[in-house]
Structure 1
Amino acid sequence: MHVLIYIPWLIKEIFVAGFQVAWAGFRPDAGYDPVVVRYPLRVRSEWQIFWFTTSITATPSTLSLGLRAPEHAGEPHILLVQAAFGADPADVVAGLADMEERMAPHVKSIDHGVPGQGSATALDPKFYEYPTHRKEKTK
């Protein structure tokens, strides 16, 4: 039944993100601050991973870059995601967690210690990096 709720929600998110990207393109300071986050997946089946990564890539300003297998048994797969508006990586991760829960509600109780998956609000720097050298803004 959640599919009937998820698909319209995803379509809305695609349109909202598309308008945000278009609007940013008209501003002198577009606010692009690309970041790559390492998102610990709660979904496990190949089919769920496929749909989750496809949903991310279909949403403007985000891109699924790759999947890393767990280093040890019992650990989650790590999904690499690039976000064009990544000034706050914790917000990016929380948004991914929200999308994952909407797609697969049964994962809500799983917490890997990142924002959106439980009580964490801060994101450990090991979960993100900026692919370009960040320049300090001058006054």
Structure 2
Amino acid sequence: MLNALKFIPWLIGQIFLSGFSVITAAVKKDTGFNPVVIRYPLRVTTDFQIAALSTCITATPSTLSLGLREPRNPGDPTILLIQAVFGSDPVEVFESIADMEQRLVPSVASIDHGVPGQGPYKEIRPGDAEWPSREIADTAQNTVSKDKREF
């Protein structure tokens, strides 16, 4: 209960800070949007904890929980797929999710699955993050930036 009294105000602050970041970026010519999808190995294990973390991530502007991947081998962590709009530095995304997870459930602090924010790691492994292909991004940019649209 004491943890919730600290976590909820922190989360509300993060929601406001992230919202202001998105608004600020949206009015700039170069938004800085560089969407990335990360595969985050969860340290939380109960259904309630996973649902709470996923909900907090989705409630924070610029991030979205996409789904879960069950462990491939016994003892492996469940993977949470997360999309982040500001994904030019995926290490920062991993660290911020790890911070949120640890603030939500402090007992996970000692668990380390080898990603940034969960231990001394400052690099991601191959396959931990994916960006949209350049072709898809270029097509989307051309569609959005047309001067004249026909409806």
* TM-score interval, normalised by the smaller of the two chains: over 0.9
For 1:20-46, what per-residue CA distance to the aligned partner results, in whole angstroms no more than 9, with x for missing partners?
Answer: 000001100000000000000000000
Superposition deviation, residue 124 in structure 1: 1.1
Q: Tell me if 1:97 matches 2:98.
A: yes
RMSD: 1.0
Deviates more, 1:71-80 or 1:123-132: 123-132
Q: Tell me if 1:132 matches 2:138.
A: no
Structure 2 residue aligned with 1:45: 46
| Structure 1 residues 1-139: aligned runs within 5 Å | 1-133=2-134
Larger radius of gyration: 2
Unaligned runs of 5+ residues in structure 2 are 139-151
State the TM-score, normalizing by the size of structure 2: 0.87
Letter paired with 1:87 = S
Superposition deviation, residue 121 in structure 1: 0.7
The SS at the match of 2:23 is: helix
State the TM-score, normalizing by the size of structure 1: 0.95
